[in-house]
Every structure is written in structure tokens, then in C-alpha cells.
Amino acid sequence: MRKLLVAGNWKMNGSIESAKALAAGLLNEVGDGASYDVAVFPPFVHIPAVAAQLQNSDLMWGGQNVSAHKRGAFTSEVSAEMLLELGCQMVLVGHSECREYGGENNQLVALKFKQALATGLLPVLCVGETLAQREADETESVVWSQIQAVIDLVGMESLGQGVIAYEPVWAIGTGLTATAEQAQQVHQFIRSHLSENDDIIARRMRLLYGGSCNGSNAHALFSMPDVDGGLIGGASLTVTDFMAICQQADALSNGE
């Protein structure tokens, strides 16, 4: 069975002090040996403070983005090696906010995925359609082209070493969560398409849902057969809100 993963994307929020307190609070609540996995993605400059709290625990941490380049004259960028040096185990690539505001396209995101994996980080590939694309019935083609670009560059075996997060753009930060059925429909589409390439990898891969996920809708979302956890934005910023989601993951992992 795939273990549920509850991941918090803190985006551009907080301070060193608040990041430290949030990490410490989560560690205190989740503890070690949880029935589900937990990861947090703080802003780059807060990672050392978070790492100091979470080191030697089961909780994982990572960057919200990474350079496609190994090193060199790329002002403002942060390399996979640098993240690894901060103890990161994972990294987000292709978040819709980086695609939209940072102009990242499928090819660049695929290069980032490749660089992360080659350096020893687990990439979380974010995909998802805009409202206009959904209304034009383009959800599946958009999502698949975002995944296909990575397969084209690194192959199915390497894609399978990462995680995919389906985050419909219209659901991010809007309070408009996809219904559990809407999420399942896209997750099932992704998994069945993956299985046309490699059935074993398709069954093994974790597919997270993201977009206005909270303690009230997490149980319904995570109980869907192809939803393996969540990538949480707003509700990952306080221990109480994040733990309300983690508790649902725990209940489901224990068959409740």
C-alpha cells in the first residue's frame, strides 16, 4: 500500500522565529513512527532553522523550488546541492505559482526534476489546470503534457522516483476545493496513463492533491483510491490547522 504523505508548502510566509516554532510544534504533535509521512517546504532562508528542529526525526523538509543548473553564474538561484547540504530530502518543482509568476514552462520544470533527482532529492512534480482550461475541457491534456515533458526528459523509471501533486490552479488559495470525486477523476486518469507506460511504477507512485485542502475535507479527499495525501498551502501555516489534516491521514492509515 502507498503510505499517505501530508506536505506543507509554506510559500512566502513567516519569519525565522515562526518557522522554528511551527516546525517544533509539528514535531511535538506528529512525533516519530507516524502512520503517514510528513514533509514541510519552508522559504529557502528558513530551511536552516527548520532543519535544526527536525533533524533526527521522521519529518522531512525541502525547498519550494530548485535551479535546473548544477552551479555557476545563475544569480538568485538555489541549487539542488545547496538544498541537500541543508539536509533537504525533497523539493517542489513546477508549482503553479512558479509557472505563472516565474514563467516556468514544462521543459524547464522537467530539467529541474532531472537536476533534483540526479542530486539525490526527491522531486515533487506539481501539475494542474487553470479554470479556463478546465472549462475548455482541457484538464487531462494539460496535466498529461506537464507529466509527459518529464517522462520525455528523464524516462518513466526516474519519474517514478518522485511524487506527483495534482493542484488545480482554480482551487489554490481560493477556498474552492475540488470535490473528492473531481480529484479522484484526475488522479485516476494520471495513474491509468502512467500504467500504460509502466504498471508497477504507476501503482507505486504517490499522487497528492493540493488546493484549499483542510481538516474538514481531507478525509473525503484522502479516502479516494488514487489520492495518496495532500500538498497543503494555507492550512499548513499553523500547527492546529495542519494537524487537523494529519489526524485524518492517521485515521485513514489506521483503517478508519
Report the interface residues with ligand 13P, using CB under 6 A. 9, 95, 167, 172-173, 210-213, 231-235
Ranked by CB distance to ligand 13P, the top (closest) residue is 233
Q: Which residues are catalytic?
A: 95, 167
* Cα 23 to Cα 51: distance, rounded to the nearest angstrom: 9
Residue 74 neighbours by CB distance under 10 Å: 12
Q: Of 186 and 231, which has the nearer Cβ to ligand 13P?
A: 231
Shortest CB 174 distance to ligand 13P, Å: 7
Q: Which amino acid is at 60?
A: M
Q: Of 20 and 95, which has the nearer Cβ to ligand 13P?
A: 95
Q: Of 118 and 176, which has the nearer Cβ to ligand 13P?
A: 176
Q: Of 63 and 233, which has the nearer Cβ to ligand 13P?
A: 233
* 154-178 CB burial, b ≥16 within 10 A, e <16: beeebbbebbbbbbbbbbbeeeebb
Residue 214 neighbours by CB distance under 10 Å: 19
Q: Which of 162, 36, 156 is nearest to 94 (CA)?
A: 162
Shortest CB 231 distance to ligand 13P, Å: 4
Maximum pairwise Cα distance, the chain: 52
Shortest CB 155 distance to ligand 13P, Å: 26
Cell of 132: 479556463
Shortest CB 93 distance to ligand 13P, Å: 12
* Cα 233 to Cα 243: distance, rounded to the nearest angstrom: 13
* Cα 108 to Cα 104: distance, rounded to the nearest angstrom: 6
